[in-house]
Amino acid sequence: MKTLELNRLLEKYYKGESTEKDEAELRSFFNENNIPEGYETEKVIFSYYRNTVEVPEPSPDFESGIIAGIDEYESKSSSRNLRKFILPLISTAAGLLIMSGSYFFFINRTDPRNTYSDPKIAYAETMKILMKVSSKMNQAAMALEPVAKINDLTTKSFNAINKPARIIEKNLKNLDYLQRAYELTNAPVTKSIIK
């Protein structure tokens, strides 16, 4: 095969425009031992294809499955957009409540009265106040449970988003392994390797 014809077929192949006949020509050409210089990478690629079985065609409902997945993702993203507006609103409301509570606390603050003369009564009053504070704090903690659920959903979403990246990274490591194997097979033999 002439170099111009080879370059034309490879260009069609890399653009995804090659036919099965073009790919068969490339496979048979790269199965030969006499490959022009500069085409070693393509030889490795097509020798890999020679050893693999034919790739199956996607199922008839493959496209509809992808479209259904996209629709599901878009419906979930609209609820995420709603959360983007609700969270700042809730945060602002909480800040205003804290500020107004602080204002009324400091305005209505009175000087402490005389302490109780009986230590048992003072202890009982202290326990009553601490129980009241404890119950209010428990109510506040229960009110914050939806925020914790939102945080869990965010973490799950990030994990789902990162899953394809981990798959790609794994595949890139496999390609790196193939590249190193190729470099080792084409490395010149030296005395240090033989020993």
Q: pTM for this structure?
A: 0.29
Chain segment 102-145, per-residue pLDDT in tens? 888 888 766 666 667 788 888 888 899 999 999 888 888 888 88
Distance CA 48, CA 175 (A): 12
Q: What is the pLDDT of residue 193?
A: 47
Q: What is the pLDDT of residue 120?
A: 86
3-class SS at 22? Answer: helix
Across residues 176-188, what is the average pLDDT?
A: 77
List of long-range contacts for 45-50, beta carbons under 8 Å, 24+ apart: 48/178
Q: What is the pLDDT of residue 55?
A: 62
Across residues 146-166, what is the average pLDDT?
A: 80
Q: Where are the domains of the chain?
A: 3-56
Using pLDDT thresholds of 50, 70 and 90, give the confidence band for residue 189: low
- Quote the mean pLDDT of the chain: 79
Burial 7-21 (b: 16+ CB within 10 A, else e): eebbeebeeeebeee
